[in-house]
Amino acid sequence: MSLPADSALLTDLYQLTMLQGYFAQGMNETAVFELFVRKLPGEPEPKRNFLIVAGLEQALDFLEGLQFQPDEIEWLRSTGRFAAEFLDALAGLRFAGDVDAMPEGTVFFPGEPILRVTASLPEAQLVETRLINLLHFQSLIASKAARMVLAAPGKPLVDFGLRRAHGAEAGLFSARAAYLAGFSGSSNVLAGQRWNLPLYGTLAHSFIQAHDDEFTAFEHFACAHPGELVLLIDTYDTEAAAEKLIPLAARLAAKGIGIQGVRIDSGNLADHARKVRNILDRGGLGQVSIFASGSIDEHLLAQHTAEAAPIDGYGIGTRMDTSSDAPYLDCAYKLQEYAGIPRRKCSEGKATWPGRKQVYRHYDSEGKMQWDVLTLASDEQAGDPLLCPVMRRGRRLGPNQSLETIRARVLDQLGCLPWRLRALSPCAAYPVEVAVSLKRLIQTMESGRMPK
């Protein structure tokens, strides 16, 4: 199945019904929507201390390419839900608005807009569903993967999660987001092709099982992959397999093949790694590294780091690709201004800050992030503004940032995090202050001098 992920029909029905309503009323004035996360995920205590923006490149691709194809318009017509004149207008709709956003790789916090769309109301409305879908998922994964990177300093981590990611796109975007967050690469070949990510892979148990004995399987695999040889040693008995590597290494050396590493995928990984390390070292294979996989999350990584388990790298799948302990962010895309007038939703527990906004970040003398200020875009402040212009009149302002640039930004940002935020356990929230100008706007609106 080829997936029309760029189809304009990849949206909620209500976007189209609302557009028909706007069309009927001629409501085409400029709207400002902002995308933000309401709170850190996890109940009762947050399971994240910070979040990382990712997915902007795909969001801009989507906006630049947005249009309904003739057969899609015909299909919409066939549903009988829409007026002919509206569908004619819809066929001509393109996104010609402006976008300001935090660059990918930026650390952000609840309440802070990470993307602001300024466009005619129908355009800005229509893009809601897919914009959230794109920015939510990669930000979710980058935020999860960054915790793993922090928990295993200096250890290469590789994305192994495609099989249990939620579909094809999730597998691809997980590979990208994890790489941005500091992973070394992925097993996902298509992601490797698309973004030139470093690809990693060893072999599966089935390769061993398909042979009548393990030693022969190792030898066959080695001869087929003399270049970067990592052998999976837990199919039957991990330590027994490690012992077999000593005679194997000698045989392979005669052919000019070296064993680079082993992978352990079951049992107590740290215990097995210690035993295997001993066996290998005693056998003169001190240069063979140990790679571990299987149900790994940041807590296990931190435990291995604390006990100095002799594991040199990790393959990480499901718990990263699904962000399994917090598989969604409470994010929203809300109208903040229409026709020059600030707007505010007041629903219980979901009230929003009105107006078009900016976030300023302050650092201490050691370069650590100290606090952010949320304010109106018109209220220029000290500190570093986080939202930057990225699209004007429907066109990007420059080429995409390279993955390496974004990856370096994440590394830099993680270095600027206050120590308590780098820990895996929940901590005192990072301060995001609301500026006086924004509070005054709310007061003005509540006093009834503005529509609600």
Closer residue to its own copies (CB): 220 or 422 = 220
**Taking the complex as a whole, how short is the minimal distance between the CB of residue 186 and its own copies, in angstroms?**
8
**Taking the complex as a whole, how short is the minimal distance between the CB of residue 321 and its own copies, in angstroms?**
8
Q: Which two tokens stand for residue 122?
A: 């129908």
Closer residue to its own copies (CB): 18 or 424 = 18
**Taking the complex as a whole, how short is the minimal distance between the CB of residue 139 and its own copies, in angstroms?**
11
Segment (H or E) for 246: helix 238-254
Closer residue to its own copies (CB): 167 or 415 = 167
**Taking the complex as a whole, how short is the minimal distance between the CB of residue 384 and its own copies, in angstroms?**
30
Give CA 244 to chain center in angstroms. Answer: 41
Segment (H or E) for 361: strand 357-363
Look at residues 403, 357, 410 and name the one whose alpha carbon lies nearest to residue 381. Answer: 357
Give the C-alpha separation, 107 to 105, whole Å.
6
Dihedral, CA atoms, 268, 269, 272, 277, nearest 10 degrees? Answer: -160
Look at residues 199, 202, 201, 183 and name the one whose alpha carbon lies nearest to residue 191. Answer: 199
Closer residue to its own copies (CB): 78 or 365 = 78
SS3 335: strand
**Taking the complex as a whole, how short is the minimal distance between the CB of residue 199 and its own copies, in angstroms?**
5
Closer residue to its own copies (CB): 67 or 133 = 133
**Taking the complex as a whole, how short is the minimal distance between the CB of residue 138 and its own copies, in angstroms?**
9
- Which amino acid is it at 221? F
Closer residue to its own copies (CB): 23 or 360 = 23
Closer residue to its own copies (CB): 327 or 367 = 327
Helix 84-91, helix 70-78: angle, nearest 10: 160
What is the rounded radius of gyration, in angstroms, for the C-alpha atoms of the chain? 26
**Taking the complex as a whole, how short is the minimal distance between the CB of residue 363 and its own copies, in angstroms?**
32
Give the C-alpha separation, 33 to 338, whole Å.
9
Closer residue to its own copies (CB): 328 or 363 = 328
* β-bridge mates for residue 362, sequence order: 371
Per-residue DSSP letters for 371-401? EEEEEETTS--SSEE--EEEEETTEESSPPP
**Taking the complex as a whole, how short is the minimal distance between the CB of residue 162 and its own copies, in angstroms?**
6
